[in-house]
Amino acid sequence: MTHEQAEPLRDGLKRVAVALKEAEIPFALTGGYAAWARGGPEPDHDVDFLVPEDLAERAAQELARRGFDVEQPAEDWLFKVRFGTAVVDVLHRTTGSPLAEVLERADEAAVLSVRMPVLAATDVVAEKLLALDEHYCDLAQVLPVVRALREQVDWETVSARCTDHPFAEAVLFLLERLDVLSSRA
C-alpha cells in the first residue's frame, strides 16, 4: 500500500479515536489496525473500533455531531464512519468473547502518536479466525496477521474459543502443519 492510500485510513483512525476519547466513550482499536499496532501488516481497506453495545448510539451521535459522515448499513452489529475516502467501522458486537471482556483485556498503546486502547493479540487473532465462514474465508488476509502476531498470542485460549468453528479449527490445523505454531494442547 502506498503512503497516499494509507494516509486517509490513518487520519480517520486518529480522528475517530480522539473523538471517542474526548467523548469519554470506552473503545478499543480492533481488526487489522490493532494487528498492525502490534507488528502485523497494515490493512488497506478500513479501520475497526469496538464500543460497548449500550453506547453505540451515543457514539454514532457524537461522531455525527463532530462532523463525521455516519451511516447505518444493513448489518445490526456496526455503524460506519466516512472521513474523506477512509471508512471506519465501529462495531458493537464481537464473534468471540463478550465485548466487555474483550474491551477490558485491551491495553493502551500509542498508535500514530495517539494513545488508545488496542485489542490484545489473542483477541485480534481469535476474532479474525472466528469471522471465517463459507462466505468469507480469505486466508491470504489472515495468515500474515497470525504469523506476525504468533509469539504474542495465547494459543490455548484461541484454540478453546475456536472449538466447534470448523473454519477457525482448519486454520489452526494449517498453522501447525506449516510450523507457524507448535502443536496445540
Tens digits of residue pLDDT in 5-63: 899 999 999 999 999 999 999 999 999 999 999 999 999 889 999 999 999 999 999 99
Given a cut of 90, whether residue 162 has pLDDT beyond it is yes
| pLDDT tens-place string over residues 111-128 | 999 999 999 999 999 999
Query: Could you give the maximum distance between any two Cα atoms of the chain, in Å?
Result: 50
Q: How confident is the model at residue 143 (pLDDT cuts 50, 70, 90)?
A: very high
Q: d(Cα 172, Cα 149) in Å, to the nearest integer?
A: 14
Q: What is the mean pLDDT of residues 66-75?
A: 96
Q: d(Cα 18, Cα 141) in Å, to the nearest integer?
A: 28
Q: How confident is the model at residue 71 (pLDDT cuts 50, 70, 90)?
A: very high
Query: pTM of the full predicted structure?
Result: 0.94
Q: Are residues 78 and 155 in the same domain?
A: no
Q: How confident is the model at residue 1 (pLDDT cuts 50, 70, 90)?
A: confident
Q: Are residues 131 and 104 in the same domain?
A: no
pLDDT of residue 184: 52
Q: Which residue has the higher pLDDT, 54 or 96?
A: 54
Mean pLDDT of the chain: 94
Handedness of CA 87, 90, 126, 161 (dihedral sign): negative
Nearest to 129 by CA among 163, 87, 86: 163
Q: Are residues 93 and 131 in the same domain?
A: no
Of 65, 85, 119, the residue that ends a domain is: 119
Q: Are residues 15 and 78 in the same domain?
A: yes
Domain that holds residue 155: 120-185
pLDDT of residue 70: 98
Q: Are residues 138 and 73 in the same domain?
A: no
**Count of the separate structural domains present in the chain:** 2
Q: d(Cα 159, Cα 140) in Å, to the nearest integer?
A: 20
Given a cut of 60, whether residue 129 has pLDDT beyond it is yes
Q: How confident is the model at residue 180 (pLDDT cuts 50, 70, 90)?
A: confident
pLDDT of residue 160: 95
pLDDT of residue 97: 79
pLDDT of residue 56: 97
Residue type, 63: L
